[in-house]
Amino acid sequence: MACLHDHSCEDHNCAADWSLFNHIDIPKVVALNESVAGSVKSVFKPWEQRLDTSGGFLESNEGDPELIIFIPFTSDVKIKSISVVGGADGTSPSRMRAFINREGIDFNDVQNIQPVQEWELAENLQGVLEYQTRYSRFQGVANLTLHFPENFGGDTSKIYYIGLRGEATQNKRDVVATIVYEVMPNPSDHKTKSETGGGFSHE
């Protein structure tokens, strides 16, 4: 369920309140079905920069609005809420599904795995909405996967900002460990290029 801020963000430092931005392992964030490889990293930024599009944005491939975003953390976190700023003209995601502590989820997996929680989203062009988690289920989160299956009718989905609020624990992740995705994915396990207009992105 979304909640509107009950204060003016001009007078209140939303960025400092429970922001998890500094705990996201941004170099290891990846997206499936992004039209520009690596563009997903641009949507993670401080709260006060949430409407700044100069650093780029995430867009799905033409004709396929579905996106999957894998977000690892540098320490285990507890997530209280999620904010998503999408695009105009029907390109904002209209639904969001969350999976925790599952690596390598692809488009086949999301059809068969029950999400920890899912939300119906509103168009949040000004970044004033947050979606509360079922907090007891979002404890000890080492990584978060967000699935955006559809939008408001646009040919592509666009995301300009994703904000996570909560708190970090003292359990640091191994910073030298890497999250390994398939270097040579099996075509039968993934959407084909004709279905997505693009492939699996790698850094």
Number of domains in the chain: 1
Within a domain: 189: no
Within a domain: 59: yes
pLDDT at position 18: 87
pLDDT at position 170: 74
Q: How far is residue 12's CA from residue 9's CA, in Å, rounded to a whole number?
A: 5
Within a domain: 6: no
pLDDT at position 131: 97
Within a domain: 199: no
Within a domain: 54: yes
Tell me the CATH number at 73.
2.60.120.470
According to DSSP, the β-strands at 30-32 and 58-59 are: unpaired
Up-side HSE of residue 174: CA atoms within 13 Å toward CB?
4
Which of these ranges, 10-19, 58-67, 83-92, 108-117, has the smallest mean pLDDT?
10-19
Please give the structure tokens belonging to residue 181: 């995705």
Within a domain: 177: no
Within a domain: 184: no
Q: What is the pTM assigned to this prediction?
A: 0.79
Residues in CB range of 180: below 8 A, 6 or more apart:
none
Q: How far is residue 69's CA from residue 77's CA, in Å, rounded to a whole number?
A: 17
Within a domain: 20: yes
pLDDT at 17 over 90: no
Full domain range(s) for residue 70: 14-172
pLDDT in tens, 62-101: 999 999 999 999 999 999 999 999 999 999 999 999 999 9
